[in-house]
């Protein structure tokens, strides 16, 4: 993480659970050096936090707008937050 790090929270709605969405997001985050987490919500959505270099975080946000092949994303809510200095990425 650098002083230029950004943090974005996304909530992804649609057919996003049971389609390997969390694992695909973790893999994409890992290859881009992005920290954070991803989890299934009880309302059927997937929620994630991404922290890292601005371009890498933007890449992750673009990925979740499409999702893995079996997903059907209806909409994505995105909000900006202050980075917390996360150092790894986890599936919750």
Which residues are the active-site residues?
Answer: 22, 40
Coil vs helix vs strand at 7: strand
Compute the distance between CA of residue 53 and CA of residue 25 in angstroms, rounded to an integer. 16
């Amino acid at each position: 993480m650098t002083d230029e790090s950004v943090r974005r929270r996304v909530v992804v709605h649609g057919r996003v659970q049971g389609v390997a969405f969390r694992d695909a997001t973790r893999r994409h985050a890992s290859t881009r050096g992005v920290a954070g987490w991803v989890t299934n919500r009880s309302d059927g959505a997937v929620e994630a936090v991404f922290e890292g270099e601005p371009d890498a975080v933007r890449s992750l946000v673009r990925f979740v707008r499409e999702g893995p092949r079996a997903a059907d994303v209806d909409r994505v809510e995105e909000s900006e937050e202050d980075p917390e200095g996360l150092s790894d990425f986890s599936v919750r």
